[in-house]
Structure 1
Amino acid sequence: MRNHDQKAKAIKIIGDNIRYYRDQKGWTQEKLADHAKIDEKNLGKIERGVQEPYFLTLYKIASVLDVSLDSLSANLEHFIDIERSNGE
């Protein structure tokens, strides 16, 4: 269950970040979806955190918002336990 909760939180954070950058441009969901050539309903689901976005979708969104993919995933490190290899 823990991994599912982490995944849901990560998807929600990405959606919140997309909404933030979209709002910064003064764009509606319709305008962003049109520019990124994605379905507006899917964009709404992504922003609400109820649909996991495909990598290509994130790439299109980041490109038209003129932000990095890292920007869309900002703040994820606080919610996801990532095991890091120490080279052993």
Structure 2
Amino acid sequence: MYFSRYICHVNQTQRQRLYDLLGENVKKYRSKKGLTQEQLANEVALTRTSVVNIEQGRQHPPLYILFDIAKALEIELGTLLPPESSFLSTSLIDEESLKGVAEKDLPKLTSFVAAFRKSTGDHEQKAAETN
């Protein structure tokens, strides 16, 4: 699975949504495999509480833990990761960021952001076609 090079620009709400969706996927695939939270915890050297917190989106596991979880669930790591469109907003700029922008400048900013999104989307599509 490919995460955009712009992932560092997600705001706190988007980042939390990412971990909420990740947790939902851990729970879904754990249940599909018929494992309890305790059993998964034992397989990946975590506590049951940690598994609960990951599934609830409260604990943000490092990548090596996600690899261990995916291996225990017998799935690819990418299967646990939600698609960007499910946690990124349609705007590159959140409402909080816009509070300091003069109203007369909003149309210019909106136009710039739309052009930027189009150009990066075109670039990513060409890169995907090349691979």
TM-score interval w.r.t. the shorter chain? 0.7 to 0.9
Matches of residues 6-85 of structure 1 in structure 2 within 5 Å?
6-80=14-88, 84=120
Distance 2:66 2:85 in 1: 18
1:77 is displaced (CA, Å) by 2.8
Distance in 1, matches of 2:50 and 2:72, equals 16
Checking the alignment, whether the CA contact within 8 Å between 1:13 and 1:76 is kept in structure 2 is no
Aligned length: 86
Question: Which protein shows a greater Rg?
Answer: 2
Give the number of the structure with larger relative contact order, counting CA–CA contacts within 8 Å between residues 6 or more apart: 1
CA offsets 1:4-48 (integer angstroms, 9 cap, x no match): 000000000000000000000111000001111222211110100
Tell me, yes or no, if the aligned pair for 1:13 and 1:75 is still in contact at 8 Å: no
Q: Does 1:4 align with 2:12?
A: yes
| Structure 1 unpaired stretches of 5+ | none
**Structure 2 unmatched ranges of 5 or more:** 1-9, 93-116, 125-131
Looking at structure 2, the residues matched to 14 and 80 of structure 1 have their Cα atoms a distance apart, in angstroms, of: 14
For normalisation by structure 1, the TM-score amounts to: 0.85
What is the CA RMSD across the aligned residues, in angstroms?
A: 2.2
Greater shift, 7-16 or 38-47, is seen at 38-47
Change (3 A) 1:44 1:76: farther
Report if the CA contact (8 A) 1:33-1:39 is conserved.
yes
